[in-house]
Amino acid sequence: MEGTEELTLEQMAFMMILHSGNARSTIQEAIQTYKKGSYEAFEAQLATAREQLKEAHQTHFSQIQKEANGEKTDMSLLLLHAEDHLMSTQTMLDLTAGLIEMMEQKIVNPNQEG
- Separation CA 30–CA 19 (nearest Å): 16
Catalytic residue, chosen from 19, 57, 60, 81, is: 81
* Contact (Cβ atoms closer than 8 angstroms) between residue 55 and residue 17: no
* Catalytic residue check, 60: no
- Within a 13 Å sphere around the CA of 32, how many CA atoms are in the beta-carbon half? 6
Which residues participate in catalysis according to the annotation?
81
